[in-house]
Each structure stands twice: as structure tokens, then as C-alpha cells.
């Protein structure tokens, strides 16, 4: 199906970078982005102190950050 859309610049750049990285057309990249959003359920984000909190498997500590900085 053909459709002409006007994208905000950052959305255009996002789709363009995905199309380059995946080696596909802009249309395929936009389809991929929309499919990802549609297939992923919207889960409410937990907020603590005004910041979103990720549900990771383990906590990051200052020691972890130091180790990463030394790489």
C-alpha cells in the first residue's frame, strides 16, 4: 500500500539509520518500527524520584561503572 507521510526530522533519521543498518528500504524500516511498537505491550513504567526505573536482573553499583570506565 502506498502512502505519503511527513515525519519529524528525528523520526526520519531514526528510520534512515535502521534502513542502513538492516540493509533494507525506508519503507521496511518504518514497518519494522511500527510492528515493534504494536507487538510490544505497553507496560507502565515505575518511577522513583522522578526517574524511570528499569526492571533489570541485577543492580548497577559504582563499582560496575568504574569497571566499565576502565575498558
CA angle 52, 38, 29 (to 5 degrees): 100
pLDDT mean over 17-33: 92
CA 10/CA 5 separation, integer angstroms? 14
Domain boundaries, the chain: 9-69
Length of the chain: 71
Select from 41, 17, 44 the least CA-distant residue to 30.
17
Q: Is pLDDT above 70 for 21?
A: yes
Q: Other C-beta atoms within 10 Å of 8: how many? A: 8
Q: Which three-class secondary structure state does DSSP give residue 48?
A: strand
**pLDDT tier, 69 (very low <50, low <70, confident <90, very high otherwise):** confident
**pLDDT tier, 41 (very low <50, low <70, confident <90, very high otherwise):** low
Q: Is pLDDT above 90 for 8?
A: yes
Note the pTM of the prediction, 2 decimals. Answer: 0.52
Q: Is pLDDT above 90 for 30?
A: yes
Amino acid at each position: 500500500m502506498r502512502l505519503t507521510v511527513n515525519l519529524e526530522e528525528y523520526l526520519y533519521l531514526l528510520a534512515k539509520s535502521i534502513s542502513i543498518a538492516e540493509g533494507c528500504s525506508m519503507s521496511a524500516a518504518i514497518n519494522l518500527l511500527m510492528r515493534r511498537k504494536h507487538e510490544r505491550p505497553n507496560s507502565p513504567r515505575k518511577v522513583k524520584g522522578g526517574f524511570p526505573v528499569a526492571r533489570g536482573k541485577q543492580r548497577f553499583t559504582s563499582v560496575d561503572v568504574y569497571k566499565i570506565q576502565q575498558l
